Amino acid sequence: MEYTTQMDAARKGIVTPQMETVARKENMRVEDLMERMAKGTVIIPANKNHTSLDAEGVGEGMRTKLNVNLGISKDCCDIEPEMDKVRAALDLKAEAIMDLSCFGKTQEFRQRLVEISPAMIGTVPIYDAVGFYDKNLQDITVDEFFDVVRKHVQDGVDFLTIHCGLNRHTADKVKQGGRLTNIVSRGGSLLFTWMEINQAENPFYEHYDRLLDICEEYDVTLSLGDGCRPGCLHDATDACQVEELITLGELTKRAWERNVQVMIEGPGHMAMNEIAGNMMMEKRLCHGAPFYVLGPLVTDVAPGYDHITAAIGGAIAAMSGADFLCYVTPAEHLRLPTLDDMKEGIIATRIAAHAADVAKGYPGARDWDDSMSKARAALDWEEMFNLAMDPVKPREYRESSKPEHEDSCTMCGKMCAVRNMNRVLEGKDIQLDD
């Protein structure tokens, strides 16, 4: 029996190789996985042309996944440093990489990325359109927008972020004012500008079925972008954001009718007390579709440390129902991140994702923490390093400050609680003064 997409296969009872991979990784019955995929609450982004993919599932009952943003820009257009970041991101086990390239040899970078990456790959085609056609944004035609989309999926991209829900009605809400930061989504702002100058509807909203045709043909997942995501705490959960979310829920059902997989993108910036409610609202309005969030950043006043503000929000969001976290680096709002910035962002987001999985009771998540606790109780430093989320930094810290006794550290020395409890429980003498 033939199938068009992973969702179509699940609905027909066909077990694909990608489903087998995900079921094994998640330690779940493939029948349960297929049931969730058929409903749309789990997705497996897997372009038919991405032959190096090691498939991952995102959504209900899955481990929280992590995305890394990369890409070349006009100010930083050298491909090789970005490829170094790609390799580092894969070494740090990122499940997804988004290519946000907007200038220069974007197709070359995209094709090299897809060729080597077992992680799923996403892009935002409208970023590429301006540089690709080398013309003013307002002069790009509807056909040209869709031609760029087709180029991306032909190159093997697994999911596309497209801001289909920012239609003219919602754009009018933005113009009515009340926001401190207006539209901070790059893709959303480009489409808003195109609509305003041309006095036309968002082409991806008006011609949504045309977009679904392309996604269905290549089995590409549609990541419905949040053009009105809040760019500061003040703008969170306002009419613009909620109205766009309602539209995204309607577009989700239309995609599912075509067996096109969907995930929903979410905020942005948001106070901690609003996060759980927003996660519940998205799941309700978008019918349980997987939720992909950027942060959210829980304060606006920590530039240079936004990997921390985002990790706090990401942990709360994932604990409350978000399925997929986009990393944020210390360089957020300031510059294109360096390799070190990227590593800091990945680790911070990985901490948030794992902490949420523990809180949600994801099977086996706490076992990792228990193993670390046993290694600490035994003062087994090598095992601690082996179990660490980032083995490099803790090893460097210990090597930089050696204790007098191997079964302690330079913080407590012979007053180490763990050392002394082990000794006293073993019937050994404890001497603190020699």
At residue 430, the pLDDT reads 79
**Which CATH fold topology does 6-360 show?**
TIM Barrel (3.20.20)
Residue 102 in marked binding region: no
Check the annotation: does 416 bind a ligand.
Answer: yes
Q: How far apart are CA 90 and CA 68, in angstroms?
A: 10
The answer to whether the annotation marks 273 as part of a ligand binding site is no
Residue 173, φ and ψ in degrees, nearest 5: -60, -40
Is there a binding annotation on residue 185? yes
Specify which residues 43 forms β-bridges with: 58
pLDDT at 422: 87
> What pLDDT is recorded for position 433?
60
Q: Is the N-terminal amide bond of 296 cis, ω within 30° of 0?
A: yes
Domain positions in the chain: 6-360, 365-425
Residue 234 assigned ligand-binding role: no
Burial of 191 (0-12, 13-18, 19+ CB in 10 A): buried
Q: Is 226 annotated as a binding residue?
A: yes
Provide DSSP, 74-89: SSS--HHHHHHHHHHH
Q: Is 208 annotated as ligand-binding?
A: no
- CA angle 247/259/208 to nearest 5° reads 40
Query: Does 163 carry a binding-site annotation?
Result: yes
Beta partners for 269? 297
Residue 186 marked as a ligand binder: yes
Give per-10-residue mean pLDDT for the chain (434 aa): 96 98 98 98 98 98 97 89 95 96 91 97 94 90 97 98 97 92 96 97 98 98 97 96 97 98 96 98 98 97 98 98 97 94 97 98 97 95 96 94 85 86 86 65
- Distance of alpha carbon 101 from alpha carbon 76, whole angstroms: 10
- Has 182 been labeled as part of a binding site? no
Q: Is 307 marked within a binding site?
A: no
**Which two tokens mark 84?**
């170094």
According to the annotation, is 215 in a ligand binding site?
no
Query: Is 269 annotated as belonging to a binding site?
Result: yes
pLDDT of residue 408: 81
pLDDT reported for residue 412: 85
